[in-house]
Amino acid sequence: MESLISPRTVSYGERWSKRGLYIVDPLDVETARERHERGELYAAILGDPEHPWAYLVVRLEVGYVGVDFLDEELRGDLSYTFAREPDSEGDLFLEQATWRIYDDSGEPAFDEHYVFEPPNIAHVTKRDHTAKDQETYALKTDLAQNYEPVPAFGEYESIARRER
């Protein structure tokens, strides 16, 4: 099976505009690579630049990678926040995840937000925007799968996995 991510399916920029749905200040591959190597902020847009399936916000100098998956309408329906402990050169840790469902008008109808706390706690908030209802609880869970290697430049397959 061919990978969804290849050099031909990744575009780079300063960021992805959630409001305008486009790449802000596109970057060529070499400029993006230099930013990656220096740990500076850049965005990697995955898939067709006009209709991507996900984008990453990468800022390795502070140990941060955000991954936003997009639905057919280019709305963020799943997002992951990875971070590295301060002064660490080790793996990134999936700190937060948010899953969203939209109503027919495009407004958020429901979301689940998870905050993961090592070694084994997940704080969960579920919001029903239509019923204006919210439920919050904590649960014990195995967080071993929340660790992710820092991606090499252009090698985003592992960190950009929707299923975890």
Contacts of residue 9, Cβ cutoff 8 Å, sequence gap at least 6: 46, 47, 48
Domain boundaries along the sequence of the chain: 1-62, 72-149
Q: What confidence tens digit (pLDDT) does each residue in 131-161 have?
A: 999 999 999 999 999 999 999 999 999 999 9
Q: Are 118 and 109 in contact, with CB atoms under 8 Å apart?
A: no
Percent of the chain with pLDDT over 90: 87
Query: What's the whole-model pTM score?
Result: 0.90
How sure is the predictor about 57, in pLDDT bands with cuts at 50, 70 and 90? very high
What's the token pair of residue 71?
């639905």
Q: What is the mean pLDDT of residues 84-92?
A: 79
